[in-house]
Amino acid sequence: MYGIRALLKSYTLPAVVLLLALSCAALVLGIRGMNASHQRSIALGEAVADAELIVVKTHSGLEEAIAGNGKTDLDPLWQELDRAMSLLDSTLTGGVTTHGESFEPLGTGALRNDVEDLKAKLALYTDSARYRLEQPSDEESASQEFHTRLSQFERAATAVEESLERRQLANLDRSRRLFWAIMTAWAALVLASVGGIFVRERRRRKAEVALQEAHERLQTQAAELEKHRAHLKDLVEERTAALSGAQQRLMQLSTRLLTAQEEERRRISKEIHDEMGGTLAAAKIGVSQALKGLTPEQEAARAGCECAREALDRAIDGVYRLSRNLSPYVLEDLGLSGALRWLLDAFTRQLPGVEATLEDADIDDLFAHDTQVVFYRIVQEALTNIAKHSDARSVSMTIRREENSVMLVVEDNGRGFDIRKLLEENPGERGMGMRTMDERARMLGGRLEVWSQPERGTRLTFTIPVPEESS
């Protein structure tokens, strides 16, 4: 119902305008039709009057011809009567007469009957005139008939003129009725339009008032929302600052923990190297001295000492390897590039079935010792993860020196993994290793990018900035 009402409101004014246009068109068409009918009546009246005038003039000429005993030329008189007959024929059938007059066909009705009767009377008159001129012996009866036919023709012409006058009066009456009907319709439509415009204007003003009130309410709400937004912005900035500070403190704590861990490893490595290494070396020297003091007959004791010396050799190698793992003294001996090559060689010795390639660059002079240790630990952790989890057959390590940074790429063709599941759904030793490498990269101001897909391998990309004094 609301939709229909809205539709009517929307189309009321256009409908009124359309009705006004249609009524104007109807008035114009009606006036044009009645004007055309009036013009036809005038043309028909003029044609009848011309025919009557022709007949009267011809009658006078015929009277003169009769009185002149045939000395008058009759051809022009007969031609005039023919012209009068042509005028009457044209009014009935339409067309152009021999003398240039044009008419539309006259429709059926009383007027047509009157014109046809007038035409018949003209024909009778013409016949009586010819008879009057051809029969002078019967002068009285022929003259009487001649005048009678003229009178009949004139009465018929008068009847046609009266019919035309009545027709014109009827057209005029219809014009008045049509005019007043159209004017009445116009007045009604105009009143309806004015009423509709008044109603629409009142509704528009009410809508403007309602819209203004809604606008004021919206402005009030917008002001309140702006206050809430500003308050929320302050809260977000406060929470963001607190979170940023907490994150920074957490990063500092993590850095201190890793630094402390590295220092503790260095201390333990030194103690193992100095104390346990020295003790085992002294034990090996003692066993060697004991072997020198044995006689050839003491084969059992000699075999025991040999086994003890071999065990001591293995223990010394294990102590030195453990010491190197705890604190990479190889960095001091070989430099960063050499230490990384040594680390990759040790990886291939541990996994002889794995093919390892290295594409390195000289980066020994770019970083301080502590930075080199962190760099070394990142590569060590990456190779350890590959050895434990990837089941790879090929490993490549690429070190590229760029303008302001060093990029390290470690890639394998192992089983790969789903990164999201590893870091979010099932955080374990491997996920902890990833986080440790990422944290070490952040310690150096760099970043870690990990790409991996199941059965398609893994690629770790470390980008570490070079200090300005080194670059």
Where residue 338 sits, what CATH number does that domain have? 3.30.565.10
Based on the structure, what is the number of domains in the chain? 2
pLDDT digits 0-9 by tens, 146-177: 788 888 888 888 888 888 788 778 878 887 88
DSSP string, 37-67: HHHHHHHHHHHHHHHHHHHHHHHHHHHHHHH
What length does the chain have?
471
Which two tokens mark 218?
Answer: 């919206």
> Is residue 412 within 8 Å of residue 392, measured between CB atoms?
yes
Which candidate, 353, 408, 418, places its Cα nearest to that of 381?
408
Cα gap 106→104, rounded to integer Å: 6
- Whether 107 shows a pLDDT value over 60: the answer reads yes
DSSP string, 246-265: HHHHHHHHHHHHHHHHHHHH
Q: Which has more confidence, 465 or 47?
A: 465
Mean pLDDT of all residues in 6-21: 61
**Domain presence at residue 225:** no
**Domain presence at residue 347:** yes
Local structure of 462: helix, strand or coil: strand
What pairs with residue 398 in β-bridges?
359, 409
Cα gap 67→390, rounded to integer Å: 149
**Domain presence at residue 236:** no
Mean pLDDT of all residues in 196-214: 87
User: Residue 252, exposed/middle/buried by CB under 10 A (0-12, 13-18, 19+)?
Assistant: exposed
Domain boundary residue, one of 193, 208, 223: 208
Local structure of 425: helix, strand or coil: helix
Same domain, 203 and 333: no
User: How large a percentage of the chain has pLDDT more than 90?
Assistant: 3
pLDDT digits 0-9 by tens, 25-54: 776 676 676 666 666 677 777 777 887 788
Cα gap 77→357, rounded to integer Å: 137
Ramachandran class of 69: left when φ > 0, alpha when ψ lies in -120 to 50, beta otherwise: left
| pLDDT recorded at residue 369 | 80
| pLDDT recorded at residue 471 | 56
Give the domain range for residue 131.
2-208
User: What average pLDDT is seen over the chain?
Assistant: 77
Cα gap 248→240, rounded to integer Å: 12
DSSP string, 203-239: HHHHHHHHHHHHHHHHHHHHHHHHHHHHHHHHHHHHH
pLDDT band at 109 (very low <50, low <70, confident <90, very high): confident
| pLDDT recorded at residue 214 | 92
Pairing of strands 394-401, 355-359: parallel
**Domain presence at residue 231:** no
What pairs with residue 16 in β-bridges?
none
> Is residue 371 within 8 Å of residue 396, measured between CB atoms?
no
| pLDDT recorded at residue 262 | 61
**Domain presence at residue 287:** no
| pLDDT recorded at residue 14 | 67
Cα gap 214→291, rounded to integer Å: 108
Ramachandran class of 75: left when φ > 0, alpha when ψ lies in -120 to 50, beta otherwise: alpha
**Domain presence at residue 70:** yes
Instruction: Quickly count: other Cβ atoms within 10 Å of residue 355's Cβ.
Output: 12
Q: DSSP assignment, residue 357?
A: E
Rounded to 5, what percent of the chain is helix, strand, coil? 75, 10, 15
**Domain presence at residue 46:** yes
pLDDT digits 0-9 by tens, 381-440: 888 888 888 888 899 989 888 888 888 899 998 888 887 776 665 555 556 777 788 888
Instruction: Quickly count: other Cβ atoms within 10 Å of residue 121's Cβ.
Output: 22
pLDDT digits 0-9 by tens, 258-297: 566 666 666 676 666 566 666 777 777 777 777 777 777 7
**Domain presence at residue 43:** yes
Local structure of 327: helix, strand or coil: coil
Choose from 226-235, 248-257, 359-368 the range with maximum mean pLDDT. Answer: 226-235
Choose from 2-11, 216-225, 360-369 the range with maximum mean pLDDT. Answer: 216-225
The structure tokens 């036919």 sit at 149
Mean pLDDT of all residues in 358-375: 82
Distance of CA 353 to the CA centre of its chain: 60
* Cβ neighbours of residue 193 closer than 8 Å, sequence gap 6 or more: 13, 16, 17, 20
* Cβ neighbours of residue 309 closer than 8 Å, sequence gap 6 or more: 284, 287, 288, 291
Which candidate, 1, 16, 20, places its Cα nearest to that of 197?
16
What pairs with residue 449 in β-bridges?
461
- Whether 15 shows a pLDDT value over 80: the answer reads no
Domain boundary residue, one of 181, 208, 235: 208
Estimate the crossing angle of helix 110-134 against helix 75-93, to 10 degrees. Answer: 160
| pLDDT recorded at residue 428 | 53
Cα gap 446→467, rounded to integer Å: 12
pLDDT digits 0-9 by tens, 237-263: 888 888 777 666 665 665 566 566 666
Mean pLDDT of all residues in 461-466: 88
pLDDT band at 67 (very low <50, low <70, confident <90, very high): confident
Which two tokens mark 244?
Answer: 């940023």
> Is residue 439 within 8 Å of residue 394, measured between CB atoms?
no
The letter for the amino acid at 41 is S
Start-end of H helices in 327-367: 330-350
- Whether 69 shows a pLDDT value over 60: the answer reads no
pLDDT band at 114 (very low <50, low <70, confident <90, very high): confident
pLDDT band at 321 (very low <50, low <70, confident <90, very high): low
Mean pLDDT of all residues in 198-215: 88
Choose from 92-96, 219-223, 237-241, 435-439 the range with maximum mean pLDDT. Answer: 219-223
Domain boundary residue, one of 163, 179, 208: 208
| pLDDT recorded at residue 113 | 82
